[in-house]
Amino acid sequence: MNIELTDVTRTFGRNKAVDGVSLAVGPGVFGLLGPNGAGKTSLLRMLATVLPPSSGTVRLLDRDPGKPAARTQIRRRLGYLPQHLGYYPSFTVAEFVEYFALLKEMPAHQVPKAVAAAVERVDLGPRARARLRTLSGGMLRRVGIAQAIVNGPDLLLLDEPTAGLDPEQRVAFRALIRDLGQHATVVVSTHLVEDVGTACSEVALMAEGKVVFRGTPGELAARGEGHESGDSALERGYGAVLAASRRQAPTGKTVQQ
């Protein structure tokens, strides 16, 4: 398993952002669904080794990220796209991707080819030498994806990756992560249900810091039978599971599988 979480909790003051999450995830594309404030981003930041857990154990790529040497080894094999990708306006696309490839400690002689391949994979070749300040929001998102995949990561964490992408780019992106998921563990955090339905082999739904559902997109869709709100079967399943979790939350129970 590339990700093993056991009873992981993260608190900010009195607020429990992630509450006793246990997950084991192997290679493939794993969708993390949930409404705003469900704890998806906090969970992803812990997986990215940016945020330590308040309690519980985290193992990534069979290593303990709490130990500095192991953390460095994990980070060499990690790709991360944060929810809010900050960028340096005066850098070009290629310079930005190259900078982070070097900070990932890729062997220097491999970096130029890896940068070119990553930039081409997100279809930004024609803008490779453009300054980041001249790019649109969707293009910047693709720059973020390029830096995340430049090292051919074994663990790829994408927080709202399709935000700002147009429909054609979203289709291309889903094909890209399906391809990457053949060898790596790809975790896609999103609140867009259709992204999960077409790209993910497995999905977890979070609400109020807990995982309230885990299964395949088909199983999630099946939960929506009889539920009225939502345009697609997946959206109805999403709505039904969330509604059930809200009903059960006061009693402290969850519907986790």
Among candidate residues 159, 153, 157, 220, the one with its CA nearest the CA of residue 189: 159
Instruction: Tell me how far, at minimum, the Cβ of 112 lies from other proteins, in Å.
Output: 4
Nearer to other proteins, 22 or 72 (CB): 72
Nearer to other proteins, 50 or 175 (CB): 50
Site string for other proteins, 184-223 (x = CB under 8 A): ----------------------------------------
Nearer to other proteins, 8 or 212 (CB): 8
Which of the residues 34 through 53 are near other proteins (CB under 8 A)?
A: 45, 48-50
Q: Compute the distance between CA of residue 237 and CA of residue 98 in angstroms, rounded to an integer.
A: 42
Q: Which of these ranges, 111-119, 135-143, 165-173, 206-214, lies near other proteins under the rule CB under 8 A?
A: 111-119
DSSP character for 65?
T
Exactly one of 13, 14, 36, 113 binds other proteins (CB under 8 A); that residue is: 113
Instruction: Tell me how far, at minimum, the Cβ of 49 lies from other proteins, in Å.
Output: 6
155-159/185-190 β-pairing: parallel
Nearer to other proteins, 14 or 109 (CB): 109
Helix (H) or strand (E) holding 199: helix 193-199
Is position 116 an interface residue for other proteins (rule: CB under 8 A)? yes
Is position 104 an interface residue for other proteins (rule: CB under 8 A)? yes
Q: End-to-end distance of the chain based on CA atoms, in angstroms?
A: 18
Counted residue by residue, the chain has a size of 257
Sheet holding 202-207, edge to edge: 78-81, 155-159, 185-190, 28-33, 202-207, 210-215
Residue 182 pairs in a beta bridge with none
202-207/210-215 β-pairing: antiparallel
Per CB under 8 A, residues contacting other proteins are 45, 48-50, 72-73, 75-76, 78, 80, 82, 84-88, 90-91, 94-95, 98-100, 102-105, 108-109, 111-113, 115-117, 119-120, 125, 128-129, 147
